[in-house]
Structure 1
Amino acid sequence: MDVSVEEFVDRLLSDEAYQEPSDSVKVEEVETQMRLPEWFDEKKYNQGRRFFSDFCFAFSMVNVLGLIGVYSVPTILAVLVGSRRSNSPYTAYKRYSSTFMHITTWLKHELKPGTVSWKSLYTVRCRHVQAGRAARLKGKGTVSQRDLAITLFSGFGFAFLKPDKFSIRQIEEGDWEAGIHFWRVIGYMIGLQDMYNICRESIEETREILQRIVDRVFTPCLENVPEYFEHLSHVTVDGLQAINSGLEKSSLLYWTRYIADVPGYIYTEKERIALQDKLRTHLKGKSPDTGVESRAIIEKSAIKGLPDIPSRTLYLHDFNSLETAPAYKALPIIGKYKLAIIYITFAFYSTSIGRVLLNLQYRWTLFIGTYLPYVAMWRYGVKNAFINLFKESPYDNTTPKPNSEYYRTQPPEPWYKFLLALFW
């Protein structure tokens, strides 16, 4: 790496990187650009595939949290909303079920010209070119090298920074390096230039880059989300429930902010104590009742376009226990229940038998979602339930709701829906 980590991240998050499109060619010319990078190592790439397959259940959760995190980036959100392909539960189901199935395709099949994996990457790359062109024509931004790199983060970034939270560990020597190589190749194949590729040869440099992206993008953006973040997050979870009924909105939004180190989002006693220590440091001897502005303890967003709203004030006494922490306290009962299930599930996943059983459960869920999506059939009709990787998801004319609609006090769900959410 010929520049320091900070210089690399500065370049990645610059206006220049945002002005650089994901591809400089037309859709019909993309095929001529599809080739393996010179640094491609087939053995290491296949080890990376095996590593992600060995922890497929955990990485599926990472993908969901990463997707929600990406919605907090204003320039990416503008393109997604403007595309009108994921503004309702149905179109979100079609779009993001397809996304997760593309990733599964890359893991299952070798990467060579003519393979289904190659065709999948070609399809994804073409869609980025089309989406970028459409966004520019509508004045909604573009699909840039910068945003492509940030989106790549969503596939693996949180797992590589906090593997213990997902009970991911190295099984064979070099697994982490192989995993980085896998995503570095994927980034290259979908059009990411080497100078902007967040996956480097060294796992240490890569982790430093990922952490700086969290510090300068995800933490501040999730602290002060752009308009329509809540809408896309809600309809996406609603849509994906057709494949995994265990997903729940409030707990996933909390867990995403928690993983991204948004101030005030804690879950363990160690994190509670650490946050109080940080608040005491920033108070600098002032009265605890003074409070600390949440944005005073995080970096300013490197991405423009966030709303200008007052910062939250964090008070020391609010974090005397998890139950009194404002963000956790505001969760509905089902959200707190699902958070506990997530925590317990990954504790079980840390055992060998837990990993085997939960991976099997994930593969079964994916199999049913692919070949017999009965929930989606019931919700959207038999014809609309099936996912075709190589067919673009449909448009919809749903008008996204502003964030304020989701911040209002919501009526309680019927008792039967609450009970259903507890057990299914």
Structure 2
Amino acid sequence: MYLEKLAEGKTEIGESGLPPRPPENFDMTKFDRGRKFIQDHVICHVLAMFISLVCGMSVVNLLEPLIFTNNSDTPNKAYRRYISTFMHVTKWYYGNIWEENNKAQTSILTVRNMHNKVRKDMTAHEAKIKNSESVDIDSLNHERIASCPMAMKDVRLSQYDMSLVQTGFLGIVVMYPRFVGIDCTEAELDDFVYFWYGVGYMLGITDKNNICKEGFHITRDICKEIEQQILIPSLENPPSQFYPMAKAFIDGGNIAHKNKLNSVESVLAIGYHGMNVKLPKLSFMDYCRYLFLRGFVIVIYYCPPVKKLFNKIIRHFFWDSSVLEKKMN
């Protein structure tokens, strides 16, 4: 029901053109409550985004830009890319995206501009391919893009694609808060959704394609449709580049942290568990990794001091301290 309406955005570029200031009648108090909710459960949001990212790579619309930009195909490049992404997101969590010259606004406008650049580059690249008589022109990038089954469409990073991206950031928390260690009320989730409405607006998503525009219940229903009609079918029949890209991301984290705590298979298993889908067959080690992740969630759900400790660690490294940011630059 909702997907059909969102799909109308496939022909519209994912840039509203609206200025970086709050929309009319914006409820800043509600937005700030949503931001505080994230801060109180930030370790849970990290886990949710981690699972969403791995599972979401199976969706062609989300995978194609990652392949095209060529910044995520090796463990080192993938680790740097996704740490950089999380550094941006934490600025939105702790800063003020509405305040000019605030680190959070600078960050979100940087991401918005990056999306616009990737869109223009992908569009220009495809036009070059279509107009070229040479098979070899830009062959490396051509092969990467051609490996995705939807490699030739008119609008890249469309409003529809941005709706799917938005779902990846909040879908798990909206649908399954306890699954990632959050004990909360629907009112708190409604505030959380409103926060992401504001973030989506600042990223250039139109109200028609902003899945958070109508509040918690509608947003949850939209996320369920996307899960059932797009994500699960994509996981059952992923594009050929899904596993190499997902493995590069997982291996990057393992190498950086000097362990083999995660694998593509164990993270997918956690995702399947959350969606109440039958688990794939796992090796003994992958099953142990899967149980460890489940155990970690149980600990942060039932032991608030542990959650607070991880929240403080994340805030220190990604917001209060500039050490990690300097290291990445």
Q: TM-score, normalised by structure 1?
A: 0.65
In structure 2, do the counterparts of structure 1 residues 369 and 336 end up closer, same or farther at CA, with 3 Å as the change threshold?
farther
* Conserved 8 A contact 1:222-1:257: no
Matched, 1:194 2:194: no
- Looking at CA atoms only, which structure, 1 or 2, has the larger radius of gyration? 1
- Of 235, 254, 264, 1:249 maps to 264
Secondary structure (helix, strand or coil) at the match of 1:350 reads helix
Amino acid at match of 1:191: G
Matched, 1:11 2:5: yes
From the two aligned structures, give the one with the greater helix fraction.
2
* Conserved 8 A contact 1:69-1:154: no
Amino acid at match of 2:264: K
- Of 274, 278, 284, 1:259 maps to 274
Gaps of at least 5 residues in structure 2 are 127-150
Gaps of at least 5 residues in structure 1 are 1-5, 26-31, 266-326, 374-384, 389-424
Q: Distance in 1 between matches of 2:250 and 2:203?
A: 26
Match of 1:105 in 2: 91
Match of 1:23 in 2: 15
Match of 2:323 in 1: 371
Secondary structure (helix, strand or coil) at the match of 1:96 reads helix
* Cα displacement string for residues 388-418 of structure 1 (whole angstroms, at most 9, x for unaligned residues): 4xxxxxxxxxxxxxxxxxxxxxxxxxxxxxx
Match of 1:336 in 2: 287
In structure 2, do the counterparts of structure 1 residues 372 and 184 end up closer, same or farther at CA, with 3 Å as the change threshold?
closer
Q: Distance in 2 between matches of 1:235 and 1:197?
A: 30
* Conserved 8 A contact 2:175-2:220: yes
Match of 2:37 in 1: 51
RMSD: 2.4
In structure 2, do the counterparts of structure 1 residues 202 and 244 end up closer, same or farther at CA, with 3 Å as the change threshold?
farther
- Of 65, 69, 73, 1:79 maps to 65
Deviation at 1:254, TM superposition (A): 1.9
Match of 2:135 in 1: none
Secondary structure (helix, strand or coil) at the match of 1:184 reads helix
Q: TM-score, normalised by structure 2?
A: 0.83
* Conserved 8 A contact 1:59-1:159: yes
Deviation at 1:107, TM superposition (A): 0.8
Q: Any residues of structure 2 matched to 1:61-76 within 5 Å, and which? A: 61-76=47-62
Deviation at 1:185, TM superposition (A): 0.5
Matched, 1:157 2:171: yes
Match of 1:93 in 2: 79
* Conserved 8 A contact 1:244-1:365: no
* Conserved 8 A contact 1:66-1:155: yes
Q: Distance in 2 between matches of 1:174 and 1:104?
A: 23
Q: Distance in 2 between matches of 1:347 and 1:216?
A: 29
More moved, 84-93 vs 135-144: 135-144
Match of 1:60 in 2: 46
Q: How many residues align?
A: 298
More moved, 194-203 vs 127-136: 194-203
Q: Distance in 2 between matches of 1:125 and 1:243?
A: 30
* Cα displacement string for residues 347-381 of structure 1 (whole angstroms, at most 9, x for unaligned residues): 111122232233335446657996259xxxxxxxx
Deviation at 1:344, TM superposition (A): 1.3
Q: Distance in 1 between matches of 2:40 and 2:16?
A: 36
* Conserved 8 A contact 1:243-1:365: no
In structure 2, do the counterparts of structure 1 residues 341 and 366 end up closer, same or farther at CA, with 3 Å as the change threshold?
farther
Match of 2:229 in 1: 216
In structure 2, do the counterparts of structure 1 residues 183 and 372 end up closer, same or farther at CA, with 3 Å as the change threshold?
closer
Match of 2:181 in 1: 167
Secondary structure (helix, strand or coil) at the match of 2:328 reads coil
* Cα displacement string for residues 218-264 of structure 1 (whole angstroms, at most 9, x for unaligned residues): 111111111200011010112233258544332112222333444x2
Amino acid at match of 1:154: G
Deviation at 1:108, TM superposition (A): 0.9
Match of 1:180 in 2: 193
Q: Which has the higher contact order (CA 8 A, sep 6+)?
A: 2
- Of 91, 100, 109, 1:122 maps to 109
Q: Any residues of structure 2 matched to 1:230-245 within 5 Å, and which? A: 230-241=243-254, 242=256, 245=259
* Cα displacement string for residues 273-313 of structure 1 (whole angstroms, at most 9, x for unaligned residues): xxxxxxxxxxxxxxxxxxxxxxxxxxxxxxxxxxxxxxxxx
